[in-house]
Structure 1
């Protein structure tokens, strides 16, 4: 049984980490969040100590080690994106391995610095790239690896997940803190595409607004037209009439890849791999971090193939 701490326990994604810690038969000894609406802990680790101030949390971890010889093995990080770098460093200083939600960090040079710290500490930095564990995505990778297609695959990626006005008034609405739409809701898709189709060769942005973004990515083996949005008005009409607020689609050579189910279990699968020493690390994450950084940095252009939604809705 390993000892865990969890940072950001009041956040949206934290329950998946709580469940993963419990399902892998480990123990949460402490949790931190500036917000105290954390009743979800009662369903998993009601006896874990909880703090709303980092200084008291950090002091508690130190006292457990010195007074009770209780060593922290892992720190799970579910805090806002811009804090990941700092909290990963804290975990390694405490002699623990880090398990960090995506995006691991916001900039590729942060990865370089963390590689040095990881080497010095002897501890491991892991990130959650759960799409790599999804059966449908694994099947697609196996297909691509074995069929030796001539020419590149044609891919359309569409992800619309409706968010209310609160989004823009939270840290997620500040690009300096979240990385913007493409980073916050798209980074795991870019990771998945790079994992399957190779390195990015071209990267163009066609639309960049506070609630939506679109562009074109060309990988070694694929041409990808992508569209991401948190605006419910972006939803296709057939989705709206069903009362649904989310639309997720990936088509490869006009063939739809079904991967809508099974997401909630993939964090537990991620933890199982991490506990066996097979987690996804800094090198795995760096390519997608570079991609989203470049999407933020490049100017909007008309170059590259456009997503069909741009032709239909944003002429």
Structure 2
């Protein structure tokens, strides 16, 4: 059901289309000329296609915050033509195929064309197919009595963000050993998903931090032992597999010991070449 504001905008578009049709008929009648129906039909289809998949800035602004009931979210509504939401959605989805046309247009024509190609040829592409760029993440899963450490690969999404799916096991904690690979990072979201990839909850606030300073979404790993643990949650009503979906963006990678030592030596040598207490680098006797 359309809101009054949205209905008014739709009515204006419809009225403008009818006005254009009347003007075209008048022009063709007075000029005693016309075109083949198939040509006119093709031109109309091309114009509609352009509007749907490659809108200009003014069209994006006009249709901003329009809603429709297709692919409704948890709030039972779907907002389209909203550029800000596109940036958030693209961080959660591996493929432009799953984004709306106006969302992909807001991200750039490369996303638009990628989505069109996937629809046209019905390409079923997963995260592994979309990108071969990964970021490492060592994870420890288990209880206080027994745990297992595994090295995983997070998939690149967009704009430097990476995504990884971690298994949910009732009563067990999931420890992400961020300090092994990163000094600074941004954690955008940690969601609990069901087997159908629907969001069941947000657990971003359920983190226990070890040797990590946090400021909003920015995390500083103070040492290689820095870790963030998702506290165990007991959800007895869960009958199907569930997963933690972690979205993060590395900001500063942790340098290896050899690289760190090389950097320290370079800084030391640079400092030794600098003049002290205003001492001139000019050769003695220079200038008289």
Q: TM-score range by the shorter chain?
A: under 0.3
What is the TM-score normalised by the length of structure 2? Answer: 0.26
Q: Which has the higher helix share?
A: 1
Bigger RCO of structures 1 and 2 (CA < 8 A, at least 6 apart):
1
What is the TM-score normalised by the length of structure 1? Answer: 0.24
Q: Which has the higher strand share?
A: 2
Larger Rg: 2
